[in-house]
Structure 1
Amino acid sequence: MSREVRRAAVGELGAALRDLVDAAVRTEVSLDELAAATDAARSLAARLRAETRGLHDVAAVDDPSTGERWYSPVYGPGNPVAPPMVATDSPDGRATGRVTLGKPHEGPPGLVHGGVVATMLDHVLARALRAAGRGGLTATLTVTYRRPVQLGVPLLATAEMGTTDGRRTTATARLVAEDDPTTTLAEAEGLFVALRPERAADVFAPTGRDVGAWTTRSGDD
């Protein structure tokens, strides 16, 4: 089976499970219906656990060399807790993410949880760097919340790479509603540090894979 065929199947399951998660956090059915749904969910979980990978194993649908994760909690098509964000990037160090968030990502009533906002901004920041060929892990992330972020509103997150100093690279990001792009809802500044090859080999050793998206070349400071 090709990776693309499996990705299509994983995406279909992810979409169905996201619908289930949304229904689960919005339902007001009777206790009997809740009990029946619980039994069905446990049965489905047992079915999916018939063949699983370990905590450190890389999924067959992933591409760790480019950083594409199909079970990412931000954009992964196969992850039922992901919105999922539709992300794009360009080699000049820019990235965008489009997403509409619902009840599963609610904080205060009717509003997106602040931690979810930070997670989305962190992702587009890192994606902008990777698009420009700069690997790295988040070292610091500073988020400024300007306005409440409403559920059910199409959102646009944009990021741009800043300065580079050896293994360290900065980037900035901004979140707006697509129908009101001049009003900033939240913004972020991030510092990312690329791992030296020998350090990356140690950090990612449990995966058994050469994970190049978070590393830098030998000899870089």
Structure 2
Amino acid sequence: MAEPGREARREAVGQLGTALRELVDAAVRTEVPLDDLAGVAVAARELAARLRADARDLHDVASVDDPEIGERWYSPVYGPGNPVAPPLVATDSPDGTARGRVTLGKAHEGPPGLVHGGVVATLLDHVLARAVRAAGRGGLTATLTVTYRRPVPLGVPLVVTAAVAGTDGRRTTAGARLAAEADPGRVLAEADGLFVALRPDRAAEVFAPTGRAIGAWTARGGDG
């Protein structure tokens, strides 16, 4: 359950994230005159200074996060507060499946008019990890094999689906695919992932700089 005041802050963080994503989209598409670019740069630095007035250290966990369940409000993949995150909306189920929907714009462009391949891989990786976590399996990505079947266009609603394929001790395998929402049977990209859960002692070492207990990427009891 969220701490008192956390939901209000999450709402504000989400609103700021939305505004900043609008700014990023405008920034990567603008062709305004040089003087306007210079003026906006000055204004952006002034806003950055206001936000830095009370900032976390690099390893600090955000007050809006819940690392025990892997909820990250500044995730670069789906975080409502992260202006570079694709606007991915994802859901999952305890049966080890997950689904995400997203439409990508200029900020995530690779070849003209197409989504950058690294962004495609990131989306697949996230939905794979979400399926694994939904099944009650912690884990960090150990291997990710992506096959790009067809170019992925900008501005088209996309659906990413994933499902757990098998488990073996701390190891979990899963598969994912990405397609246009309007043509779900035509696969644009797919991936196979191997996720390995950290032992509690190793997790404590890896996440020690945060000063927090991190459960979502850790082996659960009985996982070996």
TM bucket, shorter chain: over 0.9
Q: Does 1:29 align with 2:32?
A: yes
Residue 176 of structure 1 is aligned with which of 163, 174, 179?
179
Cα distance in structure 2, aligned partners of 1:20 and 1:58: 25
Runs of 4+ in 1 over 2 A off after TM superposition: 217-221
Tell me if the contact between 1:128 and 1:161 (Cα under 8 Å) persists in the aligned partners: yes
Q: Secondary structure at the match of 1:116?
A: helix
Find the counterpart in structure 2 of residue 131 from structure 1: 134
Partner of residue 115 from structure 1, selected from 114, 118, 124:
118
Instruction: Write the distance in 2 (CA, Å) between the matches of 1:140 and 1:63.
Output: 25
Separation (CA, whole Å) in 1 of partners of 2:200 and 2:87: 31
- Give the length in aligned residue pairs: 221
Quote the residue 1:187 is aligned against: 190
Deviations 1:183-206, CA, capped at 9 Å, x for gaps = 000000000000000000000000
Q: In 2, are the aligned partners of 1:162 and 1:170 still within 8 Å (CA)? A: yes
Q: Is the 2:138–2:220 contact (alpha carbons within 8 Å) kept by the matching residues of 1?
A: no
Which of 37, 47, 52 in structure 2 is aligned with 1:49? 52
Counterpart-to-counterpart distance in 1, 2:89 and 2:194? 23
Determine if the alignment matches structure 1 residue 8 to structure 2 residue 11.
yes
Q: Secondary structure at the match of 1:182?
A: strand
1:92 to 79, 92, 95: 95
2:167 pairs with 1:164: yes
Inter-CA distance 150–202: structure 2 relative to 1 (3 Å threshold)? same
How far is the alpha carbon of 1:55 from its aligned partner?
A: 0.8
Give 1:170 deviation, angstroms: 0.1
* Residue matched to 2:109: 106
Write out per-residue CA displacement over residues 33-79 of structure 1, whole angstroms, 9 at most, x where no aligned residue.
00000000100100100000011000000000000100001110000
Q: What's the secondary structure of 2:195's corresponding residue?
A: strand
What TM-score does the superposition give when structure 1 sets the normalisation length?
0.99
Give percent identity, aligned residues only: 79
1:77 to 58, 70, 80: 80
Matched, 1:141 2:144: yes
- 2:18–2:83 Cα contact (<8 Å) kept: yes
Q: CA RMSD in A?
A: 0.8
The TM-score, its normalising length taken from structure 2, stands at: 0.97
* CA contact 2:171–2:197 (8 Å) conserved in 1: yes
CA distance in 1, matches of 2:223, 2:167: 12
Quote how far apart the aligned CAs of 1:220 are: 3.4
Q: How far apart are residue 219 of structure 1 and its match?
A: 5.8
Name stretches of at least 5 consecutive residues in structure 1 with no aligned partner: none
Whole-angstrom CA distance in 1 between matches of 2:83 and 2:223: 38
SS, match of residue 98 in structure 2: strand
How far, CA to CA, are the matches of 1:202 and 1:67 in structure 2?
A: 18
CA deviations over 1:140-181 (Å, ceiling 9, x no partner): 000000000000000000000011000000000000000001
